[in-house]
Amino acid sequence: MDIAEQAMQDLRKSASVYGDPLERLAAYMSEGLVARLHASGSIIYKALKCREAPAIEVLSAMQKLYEICPYIQFAFMAANGAIAEAFKEEAMVHVFDFQIDQGTQWFSLIQALASRPGGPPCMRISTVDDPTAHSYPLGGMDAVKMRLASFASSLGVPLEFTIISSKLSDLQAFMIGRKAGEALAINFALQLHHMPDESVSLDNPRDRILRMCKSLNPKVLTLVEQDANTNTAPFLARFVETLDYYSAVFESIDVALPRGSKERVNVEEHCLARDIVNVIACEGVERVERHELAGKWRARMSMAGFKPHPLSLCVNSAIKSLLESYNEQYRLKEDGEVLLLGWKNRSLLAASAWH
């Protein structure tokens, strides 16, 4: 413990949120190590939650990340392309979004459906609002509903918005309310890794929710996840993986915003720091950042009864054009039916579709 304390003190001297990418990452990873040394489990996570920024600051940081890096657009474009393809012949469509946040993903899908030959379908969007999560989007779910309804109305798309009030762990298939003749798409965008699996809970909520989704017989299920191995890896391997993964992310931000920029600090602090600290400091149910590699997700989807569904080829070319507008170090790779977005040689996000 004494050696560890001394190492932390030495590390603090070289770590800086205004330094180069590795120095900045060291500032947050060392915070996770200090938390791990001095506390455990729920104490750590409660302390982290107390320091959550106001929603408006987090939203502003997320918007800036959206502008400077293609990660979120990649997730939305890959998923929406597969959904639009699945919906092209359908008169009634229903998107169930596992966690809708600000609803940003659906503006471009509504636009695509509005310009469909033969006119738009009747559309329904539903999402879960967990009353115990305390992570409501800015203005609450009603504000999201109003923004989407107003946008859909302006484009002549009939839209119904359904809010399911339930803890995610209690969600049942009947709550999603399938209607006769409705084509269903289920969307998991950078959220499913928060669900505990068999290594945390005997109930295995991660696989249970996938089996529940399969029982609904969706036309398509879209899955986008961070391509990292931090779920069941032992601590040292998890630490090394986190260092490797976030080094690439911090490098990609470094070329987009100056090191002295307060906006850059806000992006890293509000969008990335808590995830990093959670992976390093927490164990058991308190560790909610549990990423898995594309191959592991493929196995889970297969066990739940899903088969791969090709992603849209025209969307893949649109994503390539998107990456060219950012930086030549971004890479796009296809691995079977999975589309991988990377920075240099490090794969960062994996998108896939299933039916």
* pLDDT digit string, tens, across residues 310-333: 888 888 889 999 999 999 999 999
User: Is residue 59, in this structure, part of any structural domain at all?
Assistant: no
146 and 33 share a domain?
no
pLDDT in tens, 83-96: 999 999 999 999 99
Which CATH number covers residue 121?
A: 3.40.50.150
Cβ contacts of 274 within 8 Å, gap of 6 or more? 48, 52
107, part of any domain: yes
Domain count within the chain? 2
Q: Does 9 fall in a domain?
A: no
Report the chain's mean pLDDT, rounded to a whole number: 92
Name the percent of the chain lying above pLDDT 70: 94
Strand 220-226 to 183-189 pairing = parallel
Confidence of residue 254 (pLDDT cuts 50, 70, 90): very high
Within this chain, do residues 139 and 32 fall inside the same structural domain, yes or no? no
pLDDT at 48: 65
For 227, other C-beta atoms within 10 Å of its C-beta total 23
- pLDDT-derived band at 355 (thresholds 50, 70, 90) equals very high
Query: Pick the residue with more confidence: 311 or 354?
Result: 354
| DSSP code of residue 344 | T
**Per-residue pLDDT tens over the stretch 138-151:** 668 888 999 999 99
Domain that holds residue 153: 70-227+291-354
Q: Are residues 343 and 236 in the same domain?
A: no
Q: At a CB cut-off of 8 Å and minimum separation 6, what does 47 contact? A: 35, 39
Q: Please give the pLDDT value at position 238.
A: 97
Task: Burial-class residue 144 by CB neighbours within 10 Å (0-12, 13-18, 19+).
Answer: buried
**Average pLDDT, integer, range 27-36:** 91
Shared-domain flag, residues 165 and 122: yes
Band (258; pLDDT cuts 50, 70, 90): very high
Q: Does residue 135 have a pLDDT over 60?
A: no
Are 237 and 272 in a shared domain?
Answer: yes
Looking at the fold, whether 124 and 257 belong to one and the same domain comes out as no
